[in-house]
Structure 1
C-alpha cells in the first residue's frame, strides 16, 4: 500500500515557530504572537490570518524573511525520516512559497504552500493553501493511504481527509481542535518517527 506522509512545517518540522522568530527580528513580536495564538486556537480563519500576517510583514524585504527562516532549525530526526522517504513525504504548509522555498530545499521532497509574489515593495497573495485540497491531490497521484502530522487548528481539514492523523506537540501542545481530530498525540520527534515507521 502506497503511503504519503504529510507534514505541517511551522512548529512541526521546525523546532520553534516561524512567525515569532521573524517578528522578533522586525520588532513585531506582540502583534504576531497574538495573531498566531488566535489562529492556532481556531479563533481566526487561517486565510484571514495569513492576509493579516502578510500585511504586517509586507514592509520587509522577502530576502530578509527568507534568511531568517533558513536560520530556524528543523528537527533532525524528522528531517532524517523525510530524507529516507523523499518520494513519500510532503510538506503541507499555509506559509508563503516566497518565504519557505529556500528553507525547504534541503529536505528534497515535494511541498504544497500558499503562493505570493512581490512587486514594487508589496507582497500580493495569489492563493492561500487549502490543506484538505492538498490531500486530495495526493490521492489523485495514487497514494492509497495518507498520514497527516500537524499542530494547529488549520491542520484539521488535512486531518479530516487523511486516513491517520497525528497531533504533534514538539514545540508546544497541539491545538485542542487538532487533538480532537487526531488518532494519536505525540510530543517528541523521536517518538513521532518511531510511530511513523510502525504504522
Structure 2
C-alpha cells in the first residue's frame, strides 16, 4: 500500500456541473456568471478576482436555497465511490464558500476532510468573503505524498506542486494552465478511477 493522500477539486471534478452557474439560474444571472467562470477557467481572470465578482452577484441568494441547489447537482459517482472507500486518504479542496457547501460535505462524510473559502454571513445571507483559499497552501499541511486532481486554472499550482498532478476533463475541458503542468490527463471518469486505484 502506498502513502499517497488523494486531493480532489470539487466543481466539475466531483460534480457534473459548476456550482456557481447553477446558483445563478435562481436569480437569472446565469449568462454573466457563466462568462466570468469561463474567463477564469481559461486563465484570463485570477480566481480571486472572479470569485469575488461572482459572490457579489450571488450573495443575496438565501443560504438555504444555495444548499438546496447544490444538493440537486449530480455527482461523478465513481469518484465519490473511490472517496467513500478510501475516506481516510482523501481530501476535498474547493474555492467555494464553506457555508454553501458544508451540507454536501456532511453528505459525503467529509466534514472534517475538506478545505474551502470562508464566508462572513448573518442568518441566511452571505455578507462578504473572509478568506479565499489558495489550494496550493493546503498541500503544505499534508504530511504525505499527494495526488491532486482538478480541472480549472485555480487548480494549477496545486496540481503542479503535488507529487502526482492529474487534470480531469470529464465534465468540461481542462484549463490550458493545468495541461501545462499536470503529469497525467484523463477525460473519462472510469479510466481516472482505474488509475487512482493503482496508486493505492
TM-score, scaled to structure 1:
0.94
Any conservation in 2 of the 1:17–1:171 contact (CA below 8 Å)? no
- Cα distance in 2 for partners of 1:174, 1:181 equals 11
Any conservation in 2 of the 1:151–1:168 contact (CA below 8 Å)? yes
Residue 147 of structure 2 is matched in structure 1 by 147
Match of 2:134 among 114, 130, 135: 130
Residue 163 of structure 1 is matched in structure 2 by 163
Find the residue that maps to 2:93 and give its secondary structure: strand
Matched, 1:192 2:192: yes
Residue 96 of structure 1 is matched in structure 2 by 97
Q: Which runs of 5+ in 2 are unaligned?
A: none
Count, aligned residues: 195
TM-score, scaled to structure 2:
0.94
Q: Which runs of 5+ in 1 are unaligned?
A: none
Any conservation in 2 of the 1:7–1:90 contact (CA below 8 Å)? yes
Find the residue that maps to 1:165 and give its secondary structure: strand
Give structure 1 regions of 4+ aligned residues with deviation exceeding 3 angstroms: none
- Cα distance in 1 for partners of 2:108, 2:59 equals 27
Residue 60 of structure 2 is matched in structure 1 by 59
Report the CA distance shift for 1:196/1:133 in structure 2 as closer, same or farther (over 3 A). same
